[in-house]
Structure 1
C-alpha cells in the first residue's frame, strides 16, 4: 500500500463538510474514513475508526470544539488535528493551537491549503518520501485507436511488468463494460466486478477493497468488467471518482483499460490519468483514427498533453507505413514501439498467462518491461536481449529518443 492518511471529519454544517469531502476525494494519498455532524459523538468515531487525521470545524460551537481538541490530544496524542473556522480572532487561534491542533485553516477552506496541510502531516508521519514523486499513485489509461490493436494486451502485460517490482502495488481496472476481457488474459474467474465495488465503495475500507479484487500470481490486482451488460449502465462518474480515489490511495499504480467507444466514463478516466497511452498500428485506418482522436482530446483541457502514442506489432507486415511517415501523419511523436511476436502473443493469450511468466526473455516482453520503467520515471538498463539484437541487426534500425529503447522493425 502507498503512504495514505485515513481522515475523520466533524462539522455540524453540511455545506462546509461536503466541501472538505469533495477536496479530499481529489487527493491521491488520503482516504475519508469517517464523518460526523456532532462534536459529542466524534470521540467515539475516532475510537472506532482509528484515523490518522481529524478535521474539526469550530464554527458551530467554538468552546465545545476547542474542548474537543484538548480532550482528543490527551486521549490520542498520535492523532493529528486540523481545525478550521471562519473566524480570524487571534485569541481563538491561540487557544486552539495550545489545545493541541497541528494546523489552523480559514473557512471556506481553499483546496490548495488543505492539500498542503495534509502533505505536511504526511511528511511528519511517513518521512520525506511521502512528499516525493513516488508518494502518489501513477494512473495510466490505455486506449486503442480501434478494436483489435492490442490495447488490452498492452494494459495487462504492462500491469504485470509493473507488479514485478516489489516496491509497486498495481491494480488494473477493466473499463470496457460491455466486452472487456482482461480476466481472460489472466485466466481468472473473479468473485466481484467493477459494478460491485462502484456501487458499494462508500462502505469499503482497505481490507474489504483488497478482498473485492482478484490477485494474479504476478502480483497484479484486477477489477474486471461487470458480468451482465445492464450492470454497466448503473455506473456513474461519481461512482468512478470515489472508487478511483480509494484505489489511488491504496496502490502505487492504477491502470485503466478503457473501451473503444470513448464514453463519458472513458473520458473521465483519461482526465484523471497521469498518462494516456494511445495504442495503434502502422496502417492508414489506425493512424487516421489517432489524428481524429487527438483533435477531440485537444478540446479537453490538459488531455492532449498526457497522450503517449504507442505503436504495437511493429514489423508485422513489410507493407507497414514507416515510423517516420507515421509521425509526419500524426504531427505527434511516437512514444514507444512494441515489436511484433505473433507466436508468443497467441500462446499467452490462449493460455491466459502474461508475457513475464510465459516468455520472460522474449523481445516483446523486454520492450513492455522497459515501457513500464519509462512510465515510472526509471532509467531502464538495456536488456541482454536488446543488446544482442542491436549487435546482430536482427530487429533493424533503432530510432532515437524514448523509442530508441524498442525496435523499429521485427520479424513475425
Structure 2
C-alpha cells in the first residue's frame, strides 16, 4: 500500500487548516509588532536619534517575520487552490494596497539614513507609518469580510466568479462590521508595537510607548467585544444542510449550505473552542495591566496571547468554513470540499515536517542573538551598522 494512503484524507485536511492558521497567526503576532512599531514611530520618537532607536528595534527582524506571510500564502496556494484564487481575486485591490505598503517598508529602512536632510528622513518615516497602518487595517477588514461572506459563485465546472467588480474589490469591502474588525486589528498592532518597544527600549521612548499601549489595549478589547455582540445578533452564519463526507471530493457544489442563524452557535456545538475568546480577553487585559505595572517582557507576552486568542476565535467559530459566499451560499468553501488532492496534502506535510521546525529553531536563535535593549549609544556606534 502506498504510504500516503495510510494517512486519512480527513486528517490531512484538518492538519493543513490548522498549520495555515498557525502560520497566519504567527505572521500577525510577529510582523504585527513591526507594523505597530511603524505606526508608533511619529508618536514615541521626537528627535532623529530617538527615531533611529525605534527603527533599529525592528530593523534586524522584520524580514524574518514576513517569512510567515510568505509561507502562509504559499501554503494556501498549494493546499486550498480555490481559496487562493477567490480571495486574491476578490480582495485584489486591497491586496495591491497591502503589498504596496509592505514594499515601502524595506525601502524606507534602506534609504532613510542615506542622507541627513530632515525632509528626506521625514518622508521615509511617513513611509514606515503607512507600511504599518495600511496592512494592519486592511488585514482586519479582510477578516471581517470573510465572516460576512464574499460575493462570489462557482460555475458548474468550478470556475470561480467574483461579483464585486473592480471598484467593489476595494470599496465593497468597507462595510461597517469589516471596518470595525479593521479598527480592532489596528489597535491590536499598536498594542503589540507598544509591548515590543517596552521590551527593546528604555527611557522616554519606553514611557511614551507605555502611555499609548494601555489605551490601545483597551480599544482592542472593546472593539473585539463589540464585534462579538454584533456577530451574535446582527450577522448570519453559515451551515451545511447535511454534513459532507470529510474524505469526499473537492467540489463545494455537491453540498447544500444554509445562510442563517448565528456563527456563535459553534460554541454550543464545540464548547471547548471558548478557550480562544477567553485567551483573547484575558491576554489583552493582562497586557493593559502589565504595561501599567512597569513590566518589560510581560506586556509583549500578554499582548501576543491576547492577539492569538482573538484571531484563533475567528477560525474556530467558522470551522469548517474557510470562505463563505453571501450571494450563492452553496458555493461556499469549506475544509471538507475545497482542498488539494490527498497526495498533494501528504507531500506538503512531509515537507512541512522537515522545514517548519528548522524555520522555528532558526527564528528562535535569531531572537536570542538579538536579545537586549537598543540604546542611543549603540545606534550611534558606526561598528554596529545601524539604520
TM-score range normalised by the length of the shorter chain: under 0.3
Which structure's residues are more often helix, by fraction? 2
Query: How does the TM-score come out when normalised to structure 1?
Result: 0.26
Structure number with greater CO (CA < 8 Å, separation at least 6) is 2
Which structure's residues are more often strand, by fraction? 1
